[in-house]
Amino acid sequence: MKDPFKIAVIDDEEGIIMSIKANLSPKYNVAGYTSSKERLAALKEEAFDMLILDYFIDNMNGRQVVEKIRKFNDEIYIMLLTGRAEEAPGLEILNTMDVQMYCEKSADFEKILIIIESAIKSIEHSRKDGSFGLRIKKLRKINNMSQDELGKLLGLGRTAIANWESNQTEPTGENIKKLAEIFKVTTDYLLGYKANFS
């Protein structure tokens, strides 16, 4: 039996944490924290699959929290949640922060749950044997390469690599060729047409 999907929630609104827990437990293992410092310490000690992070929390903002997390964990999937979109606009956040998802707090809580469930399905899909993202991740690990290091070889940021590995986006044909050269495999292998190395 596989381990339950683990979600950490950092939000200074206890109601948001309780609502997420009430709707996602016991299907998923959800831990909630109203203090960014408390959660940062726990994230270093415990492996989580996903972090739902409020942009404005105690004396730090989401950007500062994400920067600290990425220093010790470059793989956790981060969904940024905000109730003040005018101060943290979606496109700007996705373009300038190392996060995979953005969601505005809404009176319609079901919309938030749909976005969370969609992200979970995407993460789980990326972990299935045979997925493009999993192949990239395995090759990167075999070559002792971080997402940052692979991104630099391709002239891309770490977020682009993270999004490939979570099957959020796919590389261009040119980047698939470059990946094949870097990892010394065929493009057919990367694309799933062949289940072995060249």
The CATH number linked to 34 is 3.40.50.2300
**Is 79 found in the same domain as 63?**
yes
Range in 17-26, 84-93, 98-107, 161-170 with the lowest mean pLDDT: 84-93
Banded model confidence at residue 129, pLDDT cuts 50, 70, 90:
low
**Is 122 found in the same domain as 136?**
no
The predicted pLDDT at position 92 comes to 83
**Is 159 found in the same domain as 105?**
no
For residue 196, is it within any domain?
no
For residue 197, is it within any domain?
no
Query: Domain limits at 137?
Result: 132-191
**3-class SS letters over the chain:** CCCCCEEEEECCCHHHHHHHHHHHCCCCEEEEECCHHHHHHHHHHCCCCEEEEECEECCEEHHHHHHHHHCCCCCCEEEEEECCCCCCCHHHHHHHCCCCEEEECCCCHHHHHHHHHHHHHHHHHHCCCCCHHHHHHHHHHHCCCCHHHHHHHHCCCHHHHHHHHCCCCCCCHHHHHHHHHHHCCCHHHHHCCCCCCC
**Is 33 found in the same domain as 117?**
yes
The predicted pLDDT at position 29 comes to 92
For residue 1, is it within any domain?
no
Banded model confidence at residue 134, pLDDT cuts 50, 70, 90:
confident
Q: Is the pTM above the cut of 0.75? A: no
CATH number, domain at 172?
1.10.260.40
For residue 57, is it within any domain?
yes
For residue 198, is it within any domain?
no
Looking at the structure of the chain, the number of domains it has is: 2
**Is 141 found in the same domain as 122?**
no
